[in-house]
A and B are shown apart, each in its own frame.
Chain A
Amino acid sequence: MSIISLQNIEKHYGDYHALKDVSCEIAEGEFFSLLGPSGCGKTTLLRVIAGFEDVSSGTVLLGGQNMAGVPANKRPTNMVFQSYAIFPHLSVAQNVGFGLRKAKLQPAQMADAINEALEMVGLAGFGERAAHALSGGQRQRVALARALILKPKVLLLDEPLSALDKKMREQMQTELRRLQRQVGITFILVTHDQEEALIMSDRIAVMFEGEIAQVAPPQDLYRRPLTRRVGEFIGVMNFLNARQIDVSDGTVAFDIEGLGEAKVGPDQLPEGARAYLPVVGLRPEAFTIVYEDPKLRSQRIVEGEVLDLSYYGDMTYYEVKLDGASAPVTISMKNLTTRPVLERGTRTLVSWDEGSLVVFAA
């Protein structure tokens, strides 16, 4: 059952159209991410759910209840702010207990609840510290404890990791995931970092310019992007010009620049599409540099020249100009001691995986 149901949400700021007909269902207990470049409307959508922004039209259902006219302080959602918004004049315990004031607990119960929440985020014993004496990571944990202590139905996280350094961010990603499984609450995360979204989420909604482009689990999103733009935004994708040459039994044949002819089966085609873009996508790992005897050369092997390379230690990314193609493709190869790293200008054989071809609806 969905805990949140967004139905045809529209939001205008004067002339600016911030959200365009956004509809989406978010399931109970799900780790859901809103992913997109800055200005795509993801934060606005989060604030609509929290109740900080009115919608111009459309409906927000939370646990089946219409949220129209319900102010932020009456909604069963809590938020972790991008700046964390830790009240600087209060102690850690006062911050964490801030929302409990309305619950009218006995002082002892209140202290227990606060300690429990602090323990949950790994800050046991920090209660009496002044809020301003905390590090970035600690502030974030306080913000989490402060929101989770109220047992919201949905926890909203607005770019919570963007202010942390790389190492801290990676640690918090695992920890947030663990925390979410532990409490079982629906988390909605806003982020512009596609890697972060892939690592943490059960499902991701990709947004561009106020519209949701695709909602899917991380693997599907990576392997079957619905549009060229989604494919471009998530990871690296090569785009090759392709001419559609035949359609039969739901299978479409393309003549791909630099790769030759290929057939794409019905399970690989975008659902419900009547026509296709004259372009196909291939991830860098769908190509393989061929080091074996050229005599083994098969139909799916083509030739090209290494134009440039980036060496990453564990991986090497090659820019290879395939013969007959107009633009180079990016190929990723795992570095093994038995495989020498190719130099610029080397001619090489490249095999590729037909099953990884991505076709886009026109």
Chain B
Amino acid sequence: MKGGWLRIYAIAYLVFLYLPVVLLPLFAFNDGTVMAFPLKGFTTQWFVQLAGIEALHGALLNSLFIALVTASLSVIFGICAARASTRYTFPLKAPIMGAIMVPLVLPEIIVAVSLLVVVVQVFDLPLSAWTVVAGHTLICTPFAIAILSSSFQGLDQSLEEAAIDLGETRWGAFKNIILPLVSPGIVASFLICFTISLDEFIIAFFLTGAEPTLPVYIWSQLRFPTKIPAVMALGTVMLVASLIILSVAEYYRRRGIARVGGTDSGGFL
């Protein structure tokens, strides 16, 4: 068999990766509140329970709102920066790009703390969903730039020049040629930013106001053993939802590649 020992190791590694994930649905459908084996029996009561928790619904809506705004802002900032850096040369380009990418190499707690200091101590503003959006956009923008840069990088610059040569304006060439060609990158970066924001805990924990985000809500529930099965059910729902989103995104990405005649090189990320 090809691979031999490496293949065995790879399979063991996959088991390690999937160990916690497999437990999630197991305990979500387990008819008992103790997180231990042996399992007690099958139940869907925890999923039913989810529908009745109003605090959860509020947190979910709050998180979705934050993720939507964050992803939109990050993609816009990302398009500006990625386009500027791949198409133009300008003074101080390297330090500017470096500064924009800094949040990528900063522990999130530092971002959280520094924003907290400014919002609360310096300006004495109330914390709200918007302060979380501010923090999330900061950490998502570098991801959007990274994904979009590779989309813009792959474009032949003469495509834009050809459109201008054929009578389009600069903006027309961008809208009709560049944007359609990088749209898979835009969709991908939007979904990545959306997911990062939805799952982010530390910044939300520090900057959220009276209305918690979903991870902050989950965190508050983890202290109460009786609430945990419902959290497991929630986690299962979220996992399934993100896998569906991911599949849709992958489908569009492949269609985008097929449309421009490229060859598929690897999956998401």
A-side residues, CB < 8 A to B, are 50, 52, 71-73, 77-79, 81-83, 85, 87-89, 98-99, 101-102, 130-133, 146-147, 150
Contacts and interface: CB of A to CB of B under 8 A. Distances in A.
A89 B161 contact: no
Contact of A130 (B156, B158, B166, B261): B261
Nearest to B169: A73
A102 B161 CA distance: 17
B73 to A, nearest CB: 27
A50 B158 CA distance: 12
Given A88-B181, A88-B260, A132-B261, A78 B166 contact: yes
Contacts of B181: 87-89
A133 B258 CA distance: 10
A72 B158 contact: no
A140 B163 CA distance: 16
Contacts of A131: 261
Contacts of A150: 166-167
Interface string B152-164: 0000101101111
B177 interface: yes
Contacts of A132: 259-262
B166 A99 contact: yes
Contacts of B158: 81-83, 85
A188 to B, nearest CB: 14
A88 B259 contact: yes
B164 A87 contact: no
A71 B164 contact: yes
Given A72-B165, A73-B169, A132-B261, 7 more contacts: A72-B161, A82-B158, A85-B159, A87-B177, A88-B259, A98-B163, A130-B261
B43 to A, nearest CB: 51
Nearest to A77: B165
B95 to A, nearest CB: 19
Given A85-B158, A85-B162, A73 B168 contact: yes
B180 interface: yes
* A-B complex: 6 closest residue pairs judged by Cβ atoms: A132-B261, A99-B166, A85-B162, A88-B260, A85-B158, A81-B158
A79 B165 contact: yes
Contacts of B169: 73
B161 A79 contact: yes
Q: Which of B164, B165, B168: most chain A CB closer than 10 A?
A: B165
Contacts of A81: 158, 161-162
Given A85-B158, A85-B159, A85-B162, A99 B167 contact: yes
A73 B262 CA distance: 29
Contact of A89 (B156, B164, B167, B180): B180
A79 B167 contact: no
Nearest to B177: A87
A87 to B, nearest CB: 6
Q: Which of B159, B166, B180, B259: most chain A CB closer than 10 A?
A: B166
A77 B162 CA distance: 11
Contacts of B259: 88-89, 130, 132
